[in-house]
């Protein structure tokens, strides 16, 4: 009985339209209209069914959309990491500038020097292979690497380590790779070091003696009268070589005389050097007074940093000289490049190549001198650096190179960098420590080098001291950046502050540099502050930890959004 009644009542009523029902379940109607609908649905079964169907449709839609049938794609899972690592445009610019700088430095400075070094007998391949892969690198002068090369090598090594660290997560594996690399480097010179060592007041190789390998001679008077089939290393006050050396001669002596024959090269750091004998290859020396007497014959070239050079003998190839006075009476088979005060060419001199002289006054050339071409003279003009445009270009390039170097360090050692910056913010303590380190380490290193055993330690300390010197400005720059932008909580924020601060420090320092004493003091302050901060951070690292790290908060996944439910809209 009820059904027909209900049905007939429904038919008699005006049914709700679908839009009204939808707005009702979505709570979009005002209170009065919603109450009307509510009352109507109490009476009308059809509209009640429609409302229920629409609500179920809403729930079905929400459920269908919320169900997670697809996992987050791997591309998105890694996106955050990639986005985080993405370089901003400033880094692109810095990288571009750094690359330009490296290229310009290579073509402008390194390549000419490389050619010069090749002529001086330091191998025929490129500079890097010369520095890294030749055993001779460990023996002598080639260890003089420019700041740029240090930076470039460290940056390259940093990138390599960062690259491996991404792939080799385990610290032990990384340590193994590094240890292997170091062992390979150490092993290489080790083979060249198989040698004999003699020490004493007066030491040497006697006339009838033949040394099969290398020999190290330490003494007040050092004398080589016999034959040496390897290299000779001389450390002494008075050194004389009368015999025959088939390898190279490396000399650290006050006086060095070469009366015999050397089949290889001579590399010497002496006060006075005299050559009367024959050198088959090249001579490279830092010396106060140098004489190549009339009987002397050098087959290769002469690269020399000298106060006074007198050349009366015969030189097969070129002369590259930095010094004060050069008097030429002998024969030079190649060209001459000299930067110094005076060049005197006597009448019995002969030069087969061009002569380029950069000095304060023109060369004096005697009339009988046989020259391939007239002397090309360039007067040295003392113009303030800041008056020249390229000074600023190089400043920008160096700034970019340092920032790049800093980026590598920050990415490689984020925790240590953060600790260093925290130490640097103390200001007083790091500067105090910096003064000690700045002066103390070089002195200690020199003292260590006096003993043979201490040489590696001394060189290592000096190397680390130089590395800290390079990093000092970066540390100070980061602190300045933190002062301006507030303290960073992550590596990329720290890198941004480093870049900003470094540029500002550079700007200020460039300005102050023109005021000599102030510039020097500013430079010293920056170096000491930075070095002190690094040492302080190192010191703290070496202290035993007092407390463990703070536990991280548990991960809470996001909750799904609400579903829509029907009902009366609240007033």
Q: Two tokens at 342?
A: 């005076």
8 forms part of the interface with another protein (CB under 8 A)? no
Closest CB to another protein among residues 388, 490: 490
Region near another protein per CB under 8 A, out of 164-172, 416-424, 475-483, 557-565: 557-565
Cα separation, 24 vs 309, in Å, equals 105
Min dist CB 85 to another protein, Å, is 9
Q: What Rg, from alpha-carbon coordinates, does the chain have?
A: 39
Min dist CB 488 to another protein, Å, is 8
Question: Which runs of consecutive H residues, i.e. helices, occur in 44-170?
Answer: 45-66, 74-85, 89-105, 111-119, 127-133, 147-167
Closest CB to another protein among residues 2, 562: 562
Closest CB to another protein among residues 184, 559: 559
Cα separation, 38 vs 561, in Å, equals 27
Which is nearest to 283 in space by CA: 310, 240, 253, 250? Answer: 250
Helix (H) or strand (E) holding 434: helix 428-450
Residues 536 to 555: which contact another protein by CB under 8 A?
Answer: 555
Helix (H) or strand (E) holding 533: helix 516-542
Asked if residues 268 and 254 have their Cβ atoms less than 8 Å apart, the reply is: no
Closest CB to another protein among residues 453, 556: 556
Cα separation, 536 vs 419, in Å, equals 9
501 forms part of the interface with another protein (CB under 8 A)? no
Min dist CB 17 to another protein, Å, is 7
Residues 53 to 72: which contact another protein by CB under 8 A?
Answer: 53-54, 56-58, 60-70, 72
Residues 375 to 434: which contact another protein by CB under 8 A?
Answer: none
Residue count at the site for another protein (CB under 8 A)? 55
Q: How many CB atoms lie within 10 A of CB 351?
A: 24
Q: Two tokens at 467?
A: 């590395």
Residues 459 to 488: which contact another protein by CB under 8 A?
Answer: 486, 488
Closest CB to another protein among residues 53, 508: 53
557 forms part of the interface with another protein (CB under 8 A)? yes
Asked if residues 338 and 321 have their Cβ atoms less than 8 Å apart, the reply is: yes
Min dist CB 570 to another protein, Å, is 14
Residues 13 to 32: which contact another protein by CB under 8 A?
Answer: 17-19, 22-23, 26, 28
Min dist CB 70 to another protein, Å, is 7
Closest CB to another protein among residues 81, 208: 81
Min dist CB 170 to another protein, Å, is 23
Closest CB to another protein among residues 368, 560: 560
Cα separation, 467 vs 472, in Å, equals 9
DSSP 283-320: EEEEEEEEEE-TT-EESS-EEEEEEEEEE-SEESS-EE
Q: Two tokens at 543?
A: 């202290």
558 forms part of the interface with another protein (CB under 8 A)? yes
Task: Tell which one of 169, 381, 562, 571 touches another protein (CB under 8 A).
Answer: 562
Min dist CB 459 to another protein, Å, is 39
Cα separation, 172 vs 169, in Å, equals 9
Burial 416-432 (b: 16+ CB within 10 A, else e): ebbbbbbbbeeeeebbe
Closest CB to another protein among residues 524, 565: 565
Cα separation, 216 vs 390, in Å, equals 46
Min dist CB 114 to another protein, Å, is 42
Binding site residues, another protein, CB under 8 A: 17-19, 22-23, 26, 28, 46-47, 49-50, 52-54, 56-58, 60-70, 72-73, 75-76, 79-81, 83-84, 486, 488-493, 496, 555-564
């Amino acid at each position: 009985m009820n059904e027909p009644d209900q049905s007939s009542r429904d038919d008699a009523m005006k049914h709700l339209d679908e839009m009204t029902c939808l707005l009702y379940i979505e709570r979009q109607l005002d209170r009065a209209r919603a109450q009307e609908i509510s009352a109507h649905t109490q009476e009308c079964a059809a509209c009640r069914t429609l409302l229920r169907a629409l609500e179920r449709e809403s729930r079905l839609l929400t459920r269908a959309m919320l169900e997670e049938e697809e996992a987050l794609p791997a591309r998105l899972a890694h996106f955050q990491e990639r986005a985080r690592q993405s370089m901003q445009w400033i880094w692109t610019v810095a990288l571009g500038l750094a690359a330009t700088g490296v290229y310009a430095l290579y073509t402008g400075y390194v390549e000419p020097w490389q050619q010069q070094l090749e002529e001086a007998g330091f191998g025929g391949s490129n500079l890097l292979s010369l520095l890294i892969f030749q055993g001779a690198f460990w023996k002598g002068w080639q260890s003089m690497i420019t700041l740029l090369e240090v930076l470039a090598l460290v940056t390259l090594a940093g990138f390599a380590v960062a690259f491996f660290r991404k792939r080799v997560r385990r610290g032990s594996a990384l340590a193994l790779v590094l240890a292997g690399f170091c062992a390979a480097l150490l092993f290489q010179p080790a083979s060249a070091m198989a040698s004999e060592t003699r020490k004493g007041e007066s030491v040497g190789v006697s006339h009838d003696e033949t040394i099969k390998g290398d020999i190290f001679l330490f003494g007040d008077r050092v004398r080589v009268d016999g034959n040496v089939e390897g290299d000779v290393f001389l450390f002494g006050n008075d050194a004389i070589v009368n015999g025959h050396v088939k390898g190279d001669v490396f000399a650290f002596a006050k006086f060095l005389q070469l009366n015999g024959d050397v089949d290889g090269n001579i590399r010497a750091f002496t006060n006075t050097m005299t050559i009367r004998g024959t050198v088959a290859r090249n001579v490279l020396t830092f010396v106060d007074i140098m004489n190549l007497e009339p009987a002397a014959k050098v087959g290769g070239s002469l690269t020399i940093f000298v106060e006074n050079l007198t050349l009366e003998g015969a030189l097969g190839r070129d002369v590259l000289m930095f010094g004060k006075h050069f008097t030429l009476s002998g024969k030079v088979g190649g060209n001459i490049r000299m930067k110094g005060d005076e060049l005197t060419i006597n009448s019995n001199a002969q030069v087969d190549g061009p002569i380029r002289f950069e000095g304060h006054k023109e060369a004096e050339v005697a009339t009988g001198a046989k020259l391939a071409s007239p002397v090309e003279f360039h007067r040295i003009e003392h113009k303030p650096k800041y008056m020249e445009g390229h000074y600023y270009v190089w400043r920008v390039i160096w700034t970019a190179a340092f920032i790049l170097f800093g980026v590598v360090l920050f990415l490689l050692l984020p925790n240590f960098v953060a600790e260093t910056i925290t130490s640097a913010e103390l200001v007083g303590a790091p500067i105090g420590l910096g003064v000690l380190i700045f002066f103390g380490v070089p002195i200690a290193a020199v003292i260590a080098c006096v003993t043979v055993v201490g040489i590696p330690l001394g060189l290592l300390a000096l190397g680390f001291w130089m590395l800290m010197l390079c990093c000092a400005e970066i540390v100070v720059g980061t602190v300045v950046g933190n002062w301006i932008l507030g303290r960073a909580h992550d590596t990329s924020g720290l890198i941004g502050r480093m870049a900003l601060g470094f540029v500002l420090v550079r700007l200020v320092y460039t300005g102050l540099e023109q005021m000599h004493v102030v510039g020097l003091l500013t430079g010293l302050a920056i170096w000491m502050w930075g070095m002190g901060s690094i040492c302080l951070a190192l010191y703290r690292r070496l202290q035993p930890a007092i407390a463990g790290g703070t536990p991280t908060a548990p991960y809470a996944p996001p909750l799904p959004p609400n579903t829509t439910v029907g009902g009366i809209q609240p007033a």
